Amino acid sequence: MDSEANSLFEAVGGAPTFERIVERFYEGVATDPVLRPMYPADLTAGKRHLALFLMQYFGGPTTYSQERGHPRLRMRHVPFTIGQAERDAWMQHMTTAVDAENFPEPVHSAFMEYFNRAATFLINQ
């Protein structure tokens, strides 16, 4: 995590912004034929985990690590088959969620560069 990521949490409005992004993202996941089968029936815990992780990554409180330990993204996603189709579907919903915030540059690019790297890193098929 670089200093730009550290400053983004406050620059974009803190927790409420990340909660909106995650809510919009999960609105897409909830009806996605590729991604929905990978998630439990109740999306509440997943929403909370993603919001806390993103807040922490982008310079907010460390609640995610305090509650769940080191993020270990790759390890946490090993049980799921993640190929190009899953990655692309995930990126589609995250892009929609981030775009809805109308972030100025370079903020928008900072978010999208991270999500592109992370989504590609998690491909395991």
Give residue 27's pLDDT.
98
> What phi and psi, each to the nearest 5 degrees, are found at residue 34?
-85, -45
CATH code: domain of residue 38: 1.10.490.10
pTM of the model: 0.90
Instruction: Yes or no: say if 63 and 56 are a contact pair by the CB < 8 Å rule.
Output: yes
Cβ neighbours for 16, distance < 8 A, ≥ 6 positions apart: none
C-alpha separations of 81 from 37, 72, 87 in Å: 11, 17, 10
Give residue 36's pLDDT.
97
Burial of residue 9 (CB within 10 Å: 0-12, 13-18, 19+) is buried
Give residue 2's pLDDT.
46
C-alpha torsion 20→23→24→25, nearest 10: 120
- Within the chain, which residues score under 50 in pLDDT? 1-2
Instruction: Yes or no: say if 22 and 99 are a contact pair by the CB < 8 Å rule.
Output: no
| Pair of tokens at residue 9 | 């949490």
Question: Which domain range does residue 44 map to?
Answer: 3-121
Instruction: Yes or no: say if 22 and 50 are a contact pair by the CB < 8 Å rule.
Output: yes
User: How many independent structural domains does the chain possess?
Assistant: 1
